[in-house]
């Protein structure tokens, strides 16, 4: 595989690397593959499940944490109407640059959509400072509640992080969370925070992968 680019992860000294082999792209953290361009069914499902709850809102405001390869964003844009506003919070400027460059064609260049605003900032900062701004918050950050890329990401899935997400949502708003697997303790934290929750197991089965990812859909009561 050819190394396309890399960026150092704050704090722990690791590296996030983008590789290419033919038409296949993959993101790695040190020795662990985080994402592969051939496998994005659960990222699509994250947006589909969340945005299907917003159909009665004419101009929804959606916050997506984590750009990845653009699949979550692209799936959200397909579901949302022309009046929607989508904010993407991406910690790494390099990931944004890759999505405007070598990765852009994978999800049909979603960053070029006029409904999209990119903020190169930790989503935690947005959740900590904005109140009742969003109809949906989609977290496709790190590996889910079990952080892999950046230790500070664990805050998002703590009681404090979930409380911040609860407050950033409008009444009736949706928090959707992607995870590489189930997490009983995280489910309990969601409920303790006040969310009404449902779990969705997404089977990902290809010649490269056979796994069950998890997506939580958590609603702030109206």
Domain extents in the chain: 39-219
Q: Is the pLDDT of residue 28 over 50?
A: yes
Question: How does residue 141 score in pLDDT terms, banded at 50, 70 and 90?
Answer: confident
Secondary-structure breakdown of the chain: helix, strand, coil percentages, each rounded to the nearest 5: 30, 35, 30
Q: Is the pLDDT of residue 11 over 80?
A: no
Q: Rounded mean pLDDT of 142-167?
A: 77
Please say whether the beta carbons of 4 and 33 come within 8 A.
no
Q: What is the pLDDT of residues 46-80, one digit of tens each?
A: 999 999 999 999 999 999 999 999 999 999 999 99
CA distance 167 to 90: 20
The predicted model scores a pTM of: 0.91
Q: Tell how strand 32-36 and strand 24-29 pair up.
A: antiparallel
Per DSSP, which regions of the chain are E strands? 2-8, 15-21, 24-29, 32-36, 61-65, 85-89, 116-119, 134-139, 169-179, 196-205, 210-219
Q: Is the pLDDT of residue 148 over 50?
A: no
Dihedral in degrees, nearest 10, Cα atoms 203, 169, 88, 85: 110
Q: Which CATH number fits domain 39-219: 3.30.750.24, 3.40.50.280, 3.30.390.50, 3.40.50.150?
A: 3.40.50.150
Which tokens sit at 168?
């950033």
Query: Any residues with CB less than 8 A from the CB of 198 and at least 6 apart, and which?
Result: 216, 217, 218
Higher pLDDT, 221 or 42: 221
Q: Is the pLDDT of residue 180 over 90?
A: no
């Amino acid at each position: 595989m050819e190394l396309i680019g890399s960026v150092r992860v704050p704090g722990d000294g690791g590296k996030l690397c983008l590789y290419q082999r033919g038409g296949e792209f993959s993101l790695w953290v040190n020795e662990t593959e985080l994402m592969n361009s051939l496998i994005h069914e659960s990222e699509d499902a994250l947006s589909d499940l969340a945005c299907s709850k917003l159909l009665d809102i004419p101009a929804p405001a959606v916050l997506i944490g984590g750009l990845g390869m653009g699949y979550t964003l692209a799936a959200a844009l397909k579901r949302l109407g022309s009046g929607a506003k989508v904010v993407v919070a991406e910690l790494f400027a390099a990931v944004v640059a890759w999505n405007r460059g070598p990765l852009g064609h994978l999800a049909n260049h979603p960053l070029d959509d006029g409904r999209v605003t990119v903020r190169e900032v930790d989503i935690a900062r947005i959740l900590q400072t904005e109140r009742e701004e969003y109809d949906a918050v989609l977290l496709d950050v790190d590996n889910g509640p079990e952080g892999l890329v950046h230790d500070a990401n664990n805050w998002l899935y703590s009681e404090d992080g979930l409380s911040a997400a609860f407050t950033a949502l409008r009444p009736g708003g949706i928090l959707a969370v992607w995870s590489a697997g189930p997490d009983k303790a995280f489910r309990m934290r969601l409920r303790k925070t006040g969310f009404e929750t449902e779990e969705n197991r997404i089977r990902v089965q290809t010649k490269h992968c056979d796994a069950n990812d998890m997506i939580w859909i958590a609603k702030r009561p109206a």
